[in-house]
Structure 1
Amino acid sequence: MNAVPAGPRPTVPLPPATGAWRAGDPPGRRRWHVLDGPLPLEAGGELPGARLAFETWGRPAPDRSNAVLVLHALTGDSHVAGPAGPGHPTPGWWEGLVGPGLPLDTDRFFVVAPNVLGGCQGSTGPASPRPDGRRSWGGAFPFLTQRDQVAAEAALADALGVERWALVVGGSMGGMRAVEWAVTHPERTGALLLLATAAAASAEQIAWAGVQLHAVRADPHWQGGDYHDTGRGPHAGLGLARRLAHVTYRSEPELQLRFGRTPQGAEDPFGGGRYQVESYLDHHAAKLVRRFDAGSYVVLTQAMNAHDVGRGRGGVRAALRRVTARTLVAGVDSDRLYPLTQQAELAAHIPSADRLRVIESPYGHDGFLIETDQVAALVRELTEEG
């Protein structure tokens, strides 16, 4: 029997220039709030025509006293709970926490989750059209800080009639915004849950992020950030940035136990093939370039590097003394990106934070997303009645 010659390998189509949500895409569960007038920016200038995409669960009380604000991390979005589907490329990133009878019980709470300003899943960011509508913001999108993002979220709260959040919760980048909420608007923050975050970005965090920024900008398809309408995005650079980031999100023992030195399938590393851990990183890179925007990755990473709750407020300790919310601070024991020393600083200097809570997990920084039961216990501690 004669062997049939193998045909050419099927080619995988290139992703679009951006994985951002864009006008004309299915809205999914999103709603939008358009800010009333230009948003003044901390670094100077202003952002005109900004809007925030957001999702809600549950019903607001007549006085909106049951409203909870959930703030996502770097590559998250407003889709905290619910299936993937038209308009939502991934399932909810905190399934198991939001819904009837769950810790953020939607029979009791009105849960609000915005897509951060500068993001790419419906809120104004580099992939969004400029006010004249003729082309995307691209590289002209202004520098944002966490305070600018909180100012936009405060405008959303005003539009929703929320004078005071019953709880503000966030992890990682979301935790940065959560602590900014509590310092900037203490009278509007009733309770506060800070997970795997910091009062200010450290030198090492800035260094890791800086390498990722260089990876994106070194891609020839970056074009100074003006690639959105060219049909080809900086996928190689964004994928490399994601690989670098994902290594810092996990712990060394977990990677060793899970992958060790095992080759990927029949691939021979001695012949140019991959190890399983390399295939794992390739998988996460490919997923991100299809659902995210390189420009947003740059804008949000820069905002994280700029995070310093003590800037212009007499330092971190003085700023944290402004917090009046009942506060729980938790870190992950295996987190090498946001080590427990950073959460210990928050717990020590926020007057209402009794002690540092430790989430036990082998998963590193991602533990705040994975260890749902332990996070649920913290949420319940803050939201229990009586």
Structure 2
Amino acid sequence: MERETRYEAQNVLIGSFTLESGETLHEVELAYEHVGPEDAPVILVCHALTGNQYTIGDSEPGWWKGLIGKDGYIDTSEFQVITFNVLGGCNGSTGPLSINPVTRERYKADFPFVSVRDMVHSQKKALEVLGIDHLHAVIGGSLGGMQVLEWGALYPDGMEHLIPLAVTPSLNTYGIAYNAISRFAITNDPDWKDGYYDPHHQPTSGLATARMIGMISYRTDEMFQKKFGRAATETSEENHKEAKYEVESYLHYQGNKLVSRFDANSYLYLLRAMDTHDISKGRGNLTSIIKNIKASILAIGFKGDLIYPPEDLEKLFAQAHSSPFYLINTKFGHDGFLVEFDKWGPLIKEQVTLTKNIEGVK
């Protein structure tokens, strides 16, 4: 008899929460999506920079719909899957858009800086409120992968499996450089107003530019060349604003698309969390940190990833752990963890179900 699969998307209140910086937020809430049978093992999914809690989605497909779902590589008829919108986000969790319970006005730029460790600690507290005290697995890519590594370091007894994707122990200089340009674009938009802009009139030009910059770092030159080449648009206009080439049109589209769903301040806060994260901070050398992780680990990197070089992830576990590392051959670079699930989804399925001898994935 097939177990009933529930779907819920709502908020959980975790009360007052003290950040790594020492500052305390009050009346904190995290928005979440929760799918799967009530008696099934729980898998926590951690989202990336512009992701959200809608991993699977309901009325619209979620951002990992091809990986997770009924009969998916992570099967929601066999597992419960829960995803939180990160602290500092803009999809329902406490962040710059939220009302400060002390001032009764939006935090905006008065919101304190948050760290990746803050995100993980807040998720742990939210899980406890929801009555979940142990996880079968924690999985995520990019900023989500940073959270996965922190889960293993902060709560080594809290899960059976860790699956970090497209991530490194800390963001490399190249990644920080891209983030610096994105930050510059937003903070120099006249509408940014030092972060105290009207949420309905945010710095759209700066945020769109930041997204365009990000898209270049997420994909490989080979991918851009294959997809666009030097194909021209159909515009007959000859000016500096019109997109003359298809690649320009694509970047404009991606920038405008993000503006319609994301908050510029949240973007800045999450960029800072990525920049400052270092799993070794205050803990000593990487070898000892990884050896202290008790969960079974499956690490996956993606060929051509510019901001989280896969060789750094491989080295992290090779020097201290017998955990397997897989390099996925892809033209998508960093964005490989969001596509081509047939290439690496079987690895995930094998890890979480402990099945053996999956063919064609080595």
Structure 2 length normalisation: TM-score?
0.91
| Matching residue's letter, 2:42 | A
Establish whether residue 287 from structure 1 lines up as the match of residue 251 from structure 2: no
Structure 2 equivalent of residue 249 of structure 1: 218
Task: State whether residues 172 and 307 of structure 2, in contact with CA within 8 Å, keep that contact through their aligned partners in structure 1.
Answer: no
CA distance in 2, matches of 1:273, 1:117: 38
Q: How does 1:214-225 map to 2 (within 5 A)?
A: 214-225=184-195
Alignment partner of 2:30 out of 49, 52, 73: 52
The alpha-carbon distance between structure 1 residues 70 and 272, as it changes in their structure 2 partners (threshold 3 A), is closer
Superposed, which structure 2 residues align to 1:22-41 within 5 Å? 29-36=8-15, 38-41=16-19
- 1:79-99: CA deviation from partner (whole Å, max 9, x where unpaired): 0113555xxxxx300112222
Q: Distance in 2 between matches of 1:46 and 1:271?
A: 47
Matched position secondary structure for 2:163 = strand
Structure 2 Cα separation of the partners of residues 73 and 263 of structure 1: 32
Q: Equivalent pairs: percent with the same residue?
A: 36
Pairing of 1:172-191 with structure 2 (within 5 A): 172-191=142-161
| Aligned with 1:380 (options 344, 349, 356) | 349
Partner of 1:359: 328
**Structure 1 residues 338 and 31, CA gap change in structure 2 (3 angstroms):** same
Contact 1:170–1:177 under 8 Å retained in 2: yes
Please state whether the residue corresponding to 1:323 is helix, strand or coil.
Answer: coil
Contact 1:165/1:190, CA 8 A, preserved across alignment: yes
Deviation string 1:270-327 (CA, Å, 9 cap, x unpaired) is 8764211011000000000000010110011100001101000013332222211111
- On the 8 A contact 2:113/2:269 being kept in 1, the answer is yes
- Code of the aligned partner of 2:14: L
Deviates more, 1:145-154 or 1:252-261: 252-261
CA RMSD of aligned residues (A): 1.8
Q: Could you say what secondary structure the match of 1:277 adopts? A: helix
For the pair 1:81 / 2:56, whether they are aligned, the reply is yes
Among candidates 227, 235, 257, match of residue 258 of structure 1: 227
Structure whose alpha-carbon radius of gyration is higher: 1
TM norm structure 1: 0.86
1:230-272 Cα shifts (integer Å, max 9, x gaps): x411101101100000000011011011111221123466876
**How many aligned positions are there?**
348
How many Å separate the matches in 1 of 2:297 and 2:268? 31
1:125 to 95, 98, 105: 95
Code of the residue aligned with 1:359 in structure 2: it is: I
C-alpha separation between the residues in 2 aligned to 1:178 and 1:348?
18
Q: Look up the match of 1:14.
A: none
Match of 1:68 in 2: 43
CA distance in 1, matches of 2:312, 2:349: 23
How far off is 1:157 after superposition? 1.5
Tell whether 2:274 aligns with 1:304.
Answer: yes
1:106-140 CA-to-partner distances (Å, cap 9, x unmatched) read: 12111111111111111011011111463211000
* Unmatched 5+ stretches in structure 1: 1-27, 86-90
Any stretches of 5+ residues in structure 2 without a counterpart?
1-6, 356-362
